[in-house]
């Protein structure tokens, strides 16, 4: 536990707040994903209650989304407020049922901002939802690896048209690599195979299994 006396403050950098996101994506079956996200804001031990040995949670909320695969449409949502500053905070949870039927890919962030922004929702749930959306899209790549055959991932399975469309809807123009006028995006839009991800190249190099790289190119 940090002592927050003047001597400690004068000594330099002192932690006064931390926020964490913990998001996991789970395969339920071949057509269903569950995305579970948690946001926590913690005040360090002893900051607000001198002598208290434990960090103090001021926000602790969890969102569970059930999604169809590969369309990535939300079919169910559960919002839980475990720690919150005001007794009325949890009353907004029911509002997020408006997400049922929405795609988490195309236009999701815009819908969340428009529907739940500012006084229409909870700032922290909105931040968590926007952090969860990219995890959902990353899950498309993970789902394509399943099942494993003979102990190896099926990394060379072709995209279905729906998977490709959903992925592009989220990634196109999302960053400089995915600029629709850039080489990478143009190749992907044309259905051409692009370079293998750097992370898989590094790992296969480390494992001396570069012969498997052709599955990813």
> Strands, E, within 105-211: which ranges?
148-149, 152-153
Same domain, 181 and 98: no
Q: Angle, to 10 degrees, between the axis of helix 123-144 and the axis of helix 161-171?
A: 140
- How far apart, in whole angstroms, are the C-alpha atoms of residue 60 and residue 81? 6
Q: Name the residue range of residue 183's domain.
A: 172-215
Same domain, 41 and 128: yes
Answer yes or no: pTM beyond 0.75: yes
Same domain, 110 and 177: no
Asked if the structure places residue 92 within a domain, the reply is yes
Count of CB atoms situated within 10 Å of the CB of 30: 10
Q: Angle, to 10 degrees, between the axis of helix 123-144 and the axis of helix 108-116?
A: 160
pLDDT of 174 > 90? The answer is: no
Same domain, 201 and 107: no
Asked if the structure places residue 155 within a domain, the reply is no
Among 144, 160, 192, identify where a domain stops: 144
pLDDT of 2 > 80? The answer is: no
Same domain, 61 and 99: yes
Looking at residue 160, its pLDDT comes to 74
pLDDT band, residue 90 (cuts 50/70/90): very high
């Amino acid at each position: 536990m940090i002592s927050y006396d003047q001597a400690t403050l004068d000594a330099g950098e002192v932690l006064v707040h931390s926020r964490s996101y913990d998001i996991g994506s789970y395969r339920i079956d071949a057509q269903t994903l569950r995305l579970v996200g948690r946001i926590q804001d913690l005040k360090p031990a002893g900051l607000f209650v001198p002598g208290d040995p434990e960090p103090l949670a001021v926000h602790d909320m969890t969102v569970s989304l059930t999604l169809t695969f590969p369309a990535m449409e939300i079919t169910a949502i559960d919002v839980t407020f475990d720690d919150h500053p005001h007794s009325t905070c949890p009353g907004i949870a029911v509002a997020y049922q408006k997400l049922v039927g929405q795609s988490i890919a195309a236009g999701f962030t815009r819908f969340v901002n428009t529907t739940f922004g500012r006084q229409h929702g909870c700032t922290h749930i909105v931040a968590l939802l926007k952090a969860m959306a990219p995890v959902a899209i990353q899950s498309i790549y993970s789902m394509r690896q399943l099942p494993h055959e003979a102990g190896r991932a099926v990394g060379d399975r072709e995209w279905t048209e729906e998977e490709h469309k959903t992925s592009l809807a989220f990634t196109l123009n999302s960053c400089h690599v995915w600029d629709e006028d850039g080489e990478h995006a143009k190749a992907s839009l044309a259905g051409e195979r692009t370079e293998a991800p750097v992370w898989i190249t590094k790992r296969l190099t480390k494992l001396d299994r570069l012969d498997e790289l052709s599955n990813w190119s």
